[in-house]
Amino acid sequence: MGDLIDDLLAGKHRALARAITKIENRSPGYRDLVGELYQHTGDAEVIGITGSPGAGKSTLVDKLAKTYRDEGLTVGVIAIDPSSPFTGGSVLGDRIRMASVSGDMDVFFRSMSARGSLGGLSTATADAVKALDAFGKDKVIVETVGAGQNEIDIVKTADTVAVLVPPGSGDDVQMLKAGILEIGDVFVVNKADLPGADRTVMELREMIDTRNDYTQTADHHGADAASEAAASEAMARETDDEGWTPQVVETVAEDGTGVDDLIELLADHATYLAESGKGEERARQRYAEEIRTLLREDVNQLVAGELAARGGIESYVQRVLDRETDPYAVADELVAPIEECVEADRDG
């Protein structure tokens, strides 16, 4: 373990790859590993790229990586396919698009399936990002399909989130309303070579404006009543757009058109995060979420162990069916000894 960390910090690719495998498999000792890595992190800029399947995410990631490499920066990429089955086989094909940086070891590209989602794919992603950060990557890009809450959680591990919207996809713009719009710092109308790009750009701008108006109005009314003020403040925090209006950019990932504009926007957002203090605020939220997730998981495991030691859930279920007990009493009975330990420990 110590060797693995030393080798990773010394820049050995194999050690980095192996560390990510341990994280993904949740191998024994992976927690200590991530714990050790933490103190070496914090320097990488993490960019999340999301959007529907086929939107051109991987193609764009390839071009972004190439551009950063031309600037002399090193890059890590994690491409997650959350639609792959949790168990059983899968084919991960994001690597096919890595044409311009293929063969360049300073772009570390890693494919991840949903298998890592035992205990949260977002946790596994965040931990893998930590490994790339500790390794010394300047930029870490996380690619994931944007569809549900799982994916939103994944992409939230990034500092800056770019959402890809292909042109002429009225449905996609509709879909954005259901959650993805809130997390986008930058919207990329990729495949701008296809008809309908202008219209999609317009629709996106409209949607962003509407959202901004809404937050501003809420702020005004919020002044009237304390509770409303609190609510609007919460919303302002939630939408996270004080001082940053999400930007829209057009790209043709296939030939690289617009990629420089996108890079500039990403840099603008990074500057904004640093200067406004929002970056730290996001980090705080992220760490709080990570701690909560781990706690939930650990306590669950503790309780599961207790349940197993008492013969499993089935016997309790039977007793509930027979009206000998009820679910609340069962929960109390199982948690009581744990509670006692915790209290004794706290008092002692």
Ligand X SMILES: Nc1nc2c(ncn2[C@@H]2O[C@H](COP(=O)(O)OP(=O)(O)O)[C@@H](O)[C@H]2O)c(=O)[nH]1
Residues that bind ligand X (CB under 6 A): 51, 53-59, 94, 97, 190-191, 193-194, 252-254
Q: Which helix (H) or strand (E) holds 248?
A: strand 247-250
Regarding 251 and contact with Mg ion (CB under 5 A), the answer is no
Q: Which of residues 245-304 bind another protein (CB under 8 A)?
A: 300-301, 304
Q: Is 13 in the site for another protein (CB under 8 A)?
A: yes
Q: Are 87 and 98 in contact (CB under 8 A)?
A: no
Does position 95 interact with another protein (CB under 8 A)? The reply is yes
Q: Closest CB to another protein among 26 and 205?
A: 26
44 binds, among another protein, ligand X, Mg ion, none (CB under 5 to 8 A by kind): none
Q: What is the residue type of 177?
A: K
User: Looking at this protein, which amino acid is placed at residue 211?
Assistant: R
> Which one of Mg ion, another protein, ligand X, none is in contact with 91 (Cβ closer than 5 to 8 A by kind)?
another protein
C-alpha to C-alpha distance for 28 and 221, rounded to whole angstroms? 53
Residue 144 near which of Mg ion, ligand X, another protein, none (CB within 5-8 Å, type-dependent): none
Long-range pairs, 203-208, Cβ under 8 A, ≥24: 203/170, 203/173, 204/165, 204/173, 204/176, 204/248, 205/248, 207/173, 207/176, 207/177, 207/181, 208/181, 208/245, 208/246, 208/248
Rule CB under 8 A: which of 19-38 touch another protein? 20-21, 25-28
Exposure string (b/e) for 169-208, b if CB count within 10 Å is 16 or more? beebbebbeeebbbbbbbbbbbbbeeebbeebbebbeebb
Cα–Cα dist 284/296, whole Å: 18
Q: What amino acid is encoded at 275 in this protein?
A: E
Question: Least distance to ligand X from the beta carbon of 316, Å?
Answer: 46
Determine if 226 is a binding residue for another protein (CB under 8 A).
Answer: no
- The residue among 286, 269, 132 whose CA lies nearest residue 261 is 269
| Residue 176 beta carbon to ligand X: minimum distance, rounded to whole angstroms | 15
**Which partner, Mg ion, ligand X, another protein, none, binds residue 53 by CB below 5 to 8 Å per kind?**
ligand X
Least distance between another protein and beta carbon 23 (Å): 11
Question: Min. distance of Cβ 249 from ligand X in angstroms?
Answer: 12
CA distances in angstroms from 128 to 9, 30, 50, 103, 167, listed in the order given: 14, 11, 17, 21, 32
User: Does the footprint of Mg ion cover residue 58 (CB under 5 A)?
Assistant: yes
Told to check if 140 binds another protein by CB under 8 A, we report no
Q: Which does 27 bind (CB under 5 to 8 A by kind): another protein, ligand X, Mg ion, none?
A: another protein
Q: Does 94 bind Mg ion (CB under 5 A)?
A: yes
Per CB under 8 A, 72 contacts another protein? no
Q: Which residues contact 278 (CB under 8 A, 6 or more apart)?
A: 240, 242, 243, 244, 272
Which residues of this chain interact with Mg ion, rule CB under 5 A?
57-58, 94
Which residues of this chain interact with another protein, rule CB under 8 A?
13-14, 17-18, 20-21, 25-28, 87-93, 95-96, 102-105, 108-111, 113, 115, 118-119, 300-301, 304
